[in-house]
């Protein structure tokens, strides 16, 4: 064999060996894919919708009591007196009005050898349908979980169907899971666990 033939043969063997030990997959080898969540994995979505149009009416109240809780309750009752008469009966319903604490303070006084504490609070009641958040889960996928959450938020707001599609509400935010369950979800889990 000639010197050129041997060199060519040796070169072919080296090239064949290099491709056989290459780290890149050959066309016959399948490329590993990204791990996909199981088809039955539960997806979670939380949606916050906001009513469009004029702002929802608010009702301010003040209260003073022996504790912060008592002062807040008196402030809520005071705010209820400012709501329209036909809505006052529902004033304590958290599905109808949401109390938003604006401030609370405590003052201490010492008089005639006795100390007294006074708690003052102010809060605002807001129509609960002005802003609503709902969370839903689905094994059909994230889009299904979010659609269910949007529809649940509309129902919770007292609107029917896809209230965000007709311009009554807009989707303010959308959180796609996984994330910590909401406080409400945790409470319901605690209740049903016993």
Give residue 12's pLDDT. Answer: 53
Whether residue 64 contacts residue 118, with contact meaning beta carbons closer than 8 Å, is answered with: yes
Give residue 194's pLDDT. Answer: 31
Contacting residues for 120 by C-beta, under 8 A, at least 6 apart: 62, 63, 64, 71, 104, 105, 106, 107
Give residue 193's pLDDT. Answer: 32
Which pLDDT band, with edges at 50, 70 and 90, does 159 fall under?
confident
Q: In this model, does residue 17 exceed pLDDT 80?
A: no
Q: pTM (2 decimals)?
A: 0.50
The residue extents of the domains of the chain are 43-53+130-182, 58-129
Q: In this model, does residue 28 exceed pLDDT 60?
A: no
3-class DSSP assignment, residue 151: helix
Percent pLDDT > 90 in the chain is: 29
Give residue 90's pLDDT. Answer: 87
- Nearest alpha-carbon partner for 80 in 45, 24, 125, 122: 125
Give residue 192's pLDDT. Answer: 29
Give residue 24's pLDDT. Answer: 47
* Cross-strand bridge partners of residue 62: 122
Give residue-wise pLDDT tens across range 54-75: 878 889 999 999 899 999 999 9
Instruction: Give the whole-angstrom CA distance, residue 40 versus residue 51.
Output: 34
Tokens coding 177: 């899971």
Instruction: Give the whole-angstrom CA distance, residue 96 versus residue 90.
Output: 7
Q: In this model, does residue 9 exceed pLDDT 80?
A: no
Q: In this model, does residue 121 exceed pLDDT 90?
A: yes
Give residue 128's pLDDT. Answer: 80
Which pLDDT band, with edges at 50, 70 and 90, does 6 fall under?
low
* Cross-strand bridge partners of residue 114: 111
C-alpha neighbours within 13 Å on the C-beta side of residue 193: 6
Instruction: Give the whole-angstrom CA distance, residue 147 versus residue 13.
Output: 60
Contacting residues for 71 by C-beta, under 8 A, at least 6 apart: 63, 64, 65, 104, 119, 120, 121
Instruction: Give the whole-angstrom CA distance, residue 184 versus residue 178.
Output: 16
Give residue-wise pLDDT tens across range 85-107: 988 888 888 778 888 767 888 88
Which pLDDT band, with edges at 50, 70 and 90, does 120 fall under?
very high
Please state the rounded mean pLDDT for residues 145-161.
Answer: 89
Q: How many CB atoms lie within 10 A of CB 132?
A: 23
Distances (CA, A) of 14 to 5, 52, 70, 85, 124: 14, 72, 88, 93, 82
C-alpha neighbours within 13 Å on the C-beta side of residue 189: 7
Give residue 87's pLDDT. Answer: 86
């Amino acid at each position: 064999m000639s010197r050129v033939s041997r060199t060519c043969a040796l070169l072919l063997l080296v090239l064949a060996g290099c491709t056989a030990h290459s780290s890149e997959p050959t066309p016959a080898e399948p490329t590993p894919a990204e791990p996909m969540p199981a088809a039955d994995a539960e997806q979670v979505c939380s949606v916050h919708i906001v009513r469009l149009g004029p702002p929802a009416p608010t009702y301010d109240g003040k209260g003073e009591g022996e504790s912060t809780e008592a002062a807040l309750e008196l402030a809520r009752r005071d705010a209820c007196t400012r709501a329209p008469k036909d809505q006052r009966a529902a004033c304590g319903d958290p599905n109808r009005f949401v109390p938003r604490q604006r401030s609370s303070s405590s003052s201490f006084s010492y008089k005639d050898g006795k100390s007294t504490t006074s708690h003052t609070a102010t809060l605002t009641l807001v129509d609960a349908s002005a802003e609503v958040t709902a969370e839903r889960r689905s094994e059909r996928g994230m889009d299904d979980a979010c659609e269910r959450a949007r529809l649940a938020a509309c129902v919770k707001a007292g609107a029917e169907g896809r209230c965000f599609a007709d311009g009554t509400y807009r989707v303010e935010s959308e959180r796609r899971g996984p994330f910590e369950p909401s406080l409400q979800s945790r409470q319901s889990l605690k209740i049903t666990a016993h």
